[in-house]
Chain A
Amino acid sequence: MKKDNVFMVFNTKGKEVVYEYRWGENHNPKFRLERATRRIGTLETPPTPEIKSYEELDRVFLLVSERGSGFKFLRQWLTSRQEHVISQHKISGKEGSPPKNWVLIDGNQVIQQNSLVQPDQWNAFLKQDMGCYILDRTFYGDNPITEKTGSVLTQINATVEAMRTDPSFRFIHASYHLPSLEIDPLFSNLLDQCHVYRLPQFNIDELCTWLDELVKKYQNRTFTIDLKDAKRSLAQVILYSVGGQPRLTSMLFRLVDDAIQAQLPEDERDTPPPKKPPSSGSFVLQAEDLATLFRLQGTELARNPPHIVERWKEDLTGFLKNDTHMVQLLRRYADNQPKPSTDAHYTADYKLYLAGWVGFDPEKKWGIRSQCHKQWAGELLRHFDQEKERTR
């Protein structure tokens, strides 16, 4: 099945595949994460982009991100790196039990206890079997904590506490940022003990590799792309439009791709790029043209948001209902105003940051990340106001 909301490229075998940028795979073996700092939103302690090799990674940490930000890729990366460690271990013939690969505990299954049969990994974890565990709570909705779930969480908490100091124990608590997590026994306990990391959004360098792919896709076609030195400024345009959010970036590239595809002759569409340039010559898209195209398609994207945006809005509304300060702050940001200098409360910023709405915009100012986000935040706030008026 060919998805219509992702950027497709042709692989070396000439097969059309989804293009996925993976940190640590293409160019360097390190993964990029952003650590949420204490007074986030100030330039004193901005979120620190940390490029970490597998070894540098914290052993126990909280991973928070919005939906659709590429948690799957992190997991794949972790597994592959661990496989590498295991193979190294085997080659070197070191003593002791060989390290185990990452074990995924499905939080939805164990905490909600939807299924009577508990998986083996879960039982091993409870038995305090040393190893690498990922507690995946990303399918977890904003459910209130019941007595039942509370007890499971306490159980996990106790297990983690017991094994935390052991060097062969690794634990990642992966979740979205939801209101119920704030009083979640496990989450709040871990918050005290370890760092909170956020999955990153693409920066300019990373977006340049996307652009390279796009250029590559249109080699030797009727329409070719010639970016010259303007790649970084073009990346800036993309950043301005979607803020580098992985899902949005992929979709934006798809829209641009489709727009160019529509201009190609019939026989050139959906085929891998030919080896030779076309005999009739080709039209060259300059960087400015492409920038216009990205801007236009960015507007198109803002108008027709992907479905995931509805989930983001839903998640954020949960916070907005309880936190007036957050509403005020979001209103300001959406209105393109900075945080007032007298406002020294950073909780709202922290939450908005973790939920993926707020961060550094392309001009390195603290605010809503992109034009698309601004548009949607405006819509969200308008809807929020109207709802409020209705219930008044």
Chain B
Amino acid sequence: MSDILEKLDKAGLSPKQQSALTSLCRAVIHPEARVIAIVGSRGSGKTTMMQRVHEAVDADPCFAVTEIIDAALIDREAGILSTCIQALFDTGKPYSKFSETERDLKNAYEETFRQSLSLGDSFRQIAREMSMAPKQYLSTVEKRVLESRKLPEQFEDFLGQLREYRRKSSNPKNDKTPRMVVFLDDLDLAPTELLRPWAKAMVAHFAIDGITWVLSYNQKRMVDALSSPRIHHKKKKPDRETGDALLNKLVSGNDQFVLGGWSTEDRANFLPLHHQDPHATNNTDEKPPTPPSLQGLLERSGNHHLLLLLPGTPRGLEQLYEWLDRTETERNDQQATANSPAPAESLATTTASKQQPEGEQPNSKEQGDTAKYSDNLDPHVAMVKLAEVNHWKSFSGYLKSVPSNRIACKFTWSPDISVSAGDWVELLRSAKTIPRTTPLFEMPLPTLVRKQWTKIAQGEALTEVLCHLALRTETMTPYQLLGRMPFTHSRLNLCQIKCRFHENKLDRFLKDFGEQTGHHLFWGAWHKADDQGMWHFTLSPQLFWEKLLNLREGYPRDLLKALYYHQETLETHLEQVFNDNDTAFKSQFDLTGEGLQRGFLPRSLRALILLVDALERAPWHELEARQNHWSPITLVQCASAFQLSALAYRLWPDEIIFDCLSASAKQTEEEKGKSPEQLETGPEQASEASPPDEASEQVTQPPLVLYFPSQAFSRISQVSEQEINKAYRNLVITLTKLVKDEREIIAKDTLPSGISYENSRRELLSLLAKMLALPAVKDLSLPQSTTIEKETQSLFDAIRKRCQPAALDDPAS
């Protein structure tokens, strides 16, 4: 027995498949096995499994095995059972000499075969159709009934003879008669009307000792075929219950081996079977290069985001793999031909090849994308292929009319969608998982996906992939996405500080900070309150982003007007600041402008969700509660510290941040002159194992961990961008280097539950102190409020310092 299990060919199978194969085989060779079934959907590897078992069992003399019968090819007239009987008889071939036993066997076979042909045919029906006389009719039916009762006996007889014959023919000394094993593949594809009578007969008579039936079918279709049609039902839907019962009678639950969908990891590591021929490696000394996994292929073609949508069946995976492999070689060939000729020609061919894939889209930005993806596979083409492989008909139809990176622009969520606290936690948990091959569970689906494609694909995964495509190619900005998702929007709405200030107080505040005032006004929104002299000040990251995207005017005209802002330098300065901001941000964050990888919000759905969560955890409301003790500028300071920590803290796991930092620390020394856009490389790219041909490029690009609005902060604090980048890096380093315990304490404090209401004041102050004491926040050199006295004192201190040498020299002279 164990020989057979050892002989099983497990090459190229995943561990899961291997164990499934072993247990299947063990069930087949069990002495009391009657009917064994391999259950699975189309392309899930049933046939492969069956073949492997067939191979192993066939080699063993204890078993006599039929060929694998493809039920799809069974002739309607012949019927299933008769085909099986024929196959059984064929196992004894060749019948060379017609001995007596052989003749007997043949007679038994012929008789059984003949009887089995009429299995399931209703003789009453036949007789009625032939309009026989009643007597004749009855006798025909009677004859038939009697005959059909004989069939099991005959079959048993035939089987006994066959086994005996097989025993003798293989090894006369062998005292053990072999078990017969019938392999029936794709049973659900057999003619439907044959299945029910066959199954009934099987249950009644043919699941007997000495023969094992190995079947493979698709559960759903099989049940449908076995169900009796409900005549009175309007739509004549079959009664699935009867089908299910019959199937369970046929194959006991224990003997059904279900081949489930592949896990996401297995999908990613998929390798087609023919790529892994073990004999090839054994024979030759030098190993051929191991073929890349499906993940590797996708990454090489720049479509790693599609990992989420890989089909769950090996056949689909194989199709995709082969297609990717083929297109890659094609691309390589194209490049090779493009590189070989003279430079002028090559230029022409490359431009032609660039324009070819997206020639129909005249948008300049799209062309920029193609330039970027020129080495890569067009993501849209890959998406179409994926839809095809997955058999998503409606989706691939949609893809024909709308480019895949545009679909996410059509996403809307119904405004009353809300994510409960529990679901939100789950969503965050799945957003944090590494590697990112699990979809975002509990992610509310956009209307388009929910209505049309939930049945065909994992809606969450599809949503994420489509968003990814849109965000990467800038057909949608992260801010737009945030705005559309009502569930994140409602959370962001909580991340704000609303304060009231009196005009007189404001007058002083704004004067105190002189030239830097404008950068702070920029953050918030000012509204006049109903009561006299009071102003509402709202501060939130959202408002900040809005201003950066130029969605609102940050210049608080009304406020300044009410304050009679007349300090000339200040006012001109303010205008200057706002004009500068406008022009700078217009060029940097222009939605219609060219260029990829710009912006300040992370370009990933997961990162955005995590950012929202991190922002939500910052103690906005506690800060708001203490408004009397803060000037608007302190508030801005705190708000920016919150946002900083939110970006740094929760966006990516610490390991990634730390890896990137340690990688970048070496490079920054050499690359100080780099522009911030080049520094802004997403963590995904940074953490990816860079392919060898791009390694040199990677070295010249020191990755900054996150998208950080350093330009915006530069405007605010009037510190050069480089310094802010440095400071920011410091902040992240500080956060990652903090001892784990300390980090937990701060993280706990940041949680809303971490602040108890009794001690809120003390705890808030300590929390803010912690926030503001972070060296990087200090390094941002946000202005501090000073008094005239202090300034005067510092003036005199400066004079003292300056005159010190002279004062000392004087007495000597």
Contact = CB atoms under 8 A, between A and B. Distances in A.
A296 B792 contact: yes
A334 B561 CA distance: 10
B787 to A, nearest CB: 9
Contacts of A379: 504, 507
Interface in B546-592: 561-568, 571
Nearest to B532: A386
B373 to A, nearest CB: 54
A296 B795 contact: yes
Contact of B508 (A289, A303, A331): A303
B564 A377 contact: yes
A179 interface: no
A124 interface: no
A284 interface: yes
B563 A378 contact: yes
Interface string A112-146: 00000000000000000000000000000000000
B132 interface: no
Contacts of A389: 532
Contacts of A331: 564
Given A281-B808, A289-B799, A336-B566, A296 B791 contact: yes
B561 A335 contact: yes
Nearest to A256: B792
Nearest to B563: A378
Contact of A390 (B532, B561, B792, B809): B532
Interface in A340-392: 368, 371, 374-375, 377-379, 381-382, 386, 389-390
A382 B811 contact: no
Contacts of B504: 379, 382
Contact of B566 (A263, A289, A299, A334): A334
B358 interface: no
A218 to B, nearest CB: 13
Given A299-B511, A377-B564, A279 B796 contact: no
Nearest to B791: A296
A300 interface: yes
Interface in A242-265: 259, 263
Nearest to B810: A281
Q: Size class of A's contact patch?
A: 20 to 34
B393 interface: no
A280 B808 CA distance: 7
B150 interface: no
B533 interface: yes
Contacts of B563: 378, 382
Contacts of A386: 532-533
B622 interface: no
A271 to B, nearest CB: 20
B808 A283 contact: no
Contacts of B567: 371, 374
Interface string B48-59: 000000000000
A87 interface: no
A377 B561 CA distance: 13
Contacts of B792: 259, 293, 296-297
A88 interface: no
A280 B504 CA distance: 46
Interface residues of B, number: 31
Interface string A279-306: 1111111000100110011011001000
B806 to A, nearest CB: 7
Contacts of A300: 788
Max count, chain A CB within 10 A of own CB: residue among B508, B533, B568, B788: B788
Interface in B403-417: none
Contacts of A336: 565-566, 568, 571
A368 B564 CA distance: 12
Interface in A155-172: none
A282 B810 contact: yes
B677 interface: no
A91 to B, nearest CB: 55
A371 B532 CA distance: 25
Nearest to A368: B566
A303 B563 CA distance: 14
Contacts of B348: none
Contact of A281 (B565, B795, B799, B807): B807
A225 B507 CA distance: 33
A243 to B, nearest CB: 14
Nearest to A381: B564
Contacts of A282: 803, 807, 810
Contacts of A334: 564, 566
Contacts of A293: 792, 795
A296 B511 CA distance: 12
A300 B810 CA distance: 35
Given A259-B792, A299-B511, A299-B788, A335 B807 contact: no
B800 interface: yes
Contacts of B561: 335
A284 B565 CA distance: 36
A194 to B, nearest CB: 36
Max count, chain A CB within 10 A of own CB: residue among B511, B564, B799, B810: B564
A296 B796 CA distance: 12
A190 B561 CA distance: 41
A324 to B, nearest CB: 17
Max count, chain A CB within 10 A of own CB: residue among B503, B566, B798: B566
A390 B530 CA distance: 12
Contacts of B803: 282-284
B566 A378 contact: yes
Contacts of A377: 564
B559 to A, nearest CB: 12
A178 B800 CA distance: 50
A389 B562 CA distance: 14
A292 B571 contact: no
Interface in B760-812: 788, 791-792, 795-796, 798-800, 803, 806-811
A283 B788 contact: no
A382 B566 contact: no
Interface string B716-754: 000000000000000000000000000000000000000
B568 A289 contact: no
A377 B563 CA distance: 10
Interface in B311-326: none
Contacts of B562: 382
7 contacts: A283-B803, A289-B798, A293-B792, A296-B792, A296-B795, A378-B566, A381-B564
Interface of A: 223, 259, 263, 279-285, 289, 292-293, 296-297, 299-300, 303, 331, 334-336, 368, 371, 374-375, 377-379, 381-382, 386, 389-390
Given A279-B811, A378-B566, 6 more contacts: A223-B799, A280-B807, A281-B811, A335-B565, A379-B507, A382-B533
The 9 closest A-B pairs by CB, nearest first: A378-B564, A281-B810, A281-B807, A386-B532, A283-B803, A334-B564, A336-B566, A374-B566, A300-B788
